């Protein structure tokens, strides 16, 4: 499973990326998780299964969907703020179904 986490600058999401990877490892799920800046999505189409978006850029969801052509959802603000890797992973998994 390939999960892209998009935020404004690609930095604030690095902690959540680590927590999602840890949650996936604990469940035996082979996951690639990376954070990218909203401005750095050119050339990312076809590289990811789902995209989670930081709550600070929910305004960009439709543009990101159009750019990537995959399921895109905003991470719930509390999940993002608490860097809850389990909840974020659950959200990503539910997007695949």
Q: How many CA atoms lie within 13 A of 52 on its CB side?
A: 29
93 vs 90: CA distance, rounded Å: 5
51 is catalytic: no
The helix/strand/coil state of 52 is strand
**Which of 7, 17, 41, 74 does the annotation list as catalytic?**
7
- Positions marked catalytic: 7
């Amino acid at each position: 499973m390939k999960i892209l986490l998009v935020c404004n600058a690609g930095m604030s999401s690095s902690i959540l990326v680590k927590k999602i990877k840890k949650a996936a490892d604990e469940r035996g799920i082979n996951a690639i998780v990376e954070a990218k800046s909203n401005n750095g999505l050119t050339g990312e189409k076809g590289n990811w299964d789902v995209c989670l978006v930081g709550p600070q850029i929910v305004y960009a969801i439709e543009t990101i969907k159009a750019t990537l052509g995959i399921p895109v959802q905003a991470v719930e603000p509390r999940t993002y703020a608490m860097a809850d890797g389990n909840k974020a992973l659950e959200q990503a998994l539910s997007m695949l179904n």
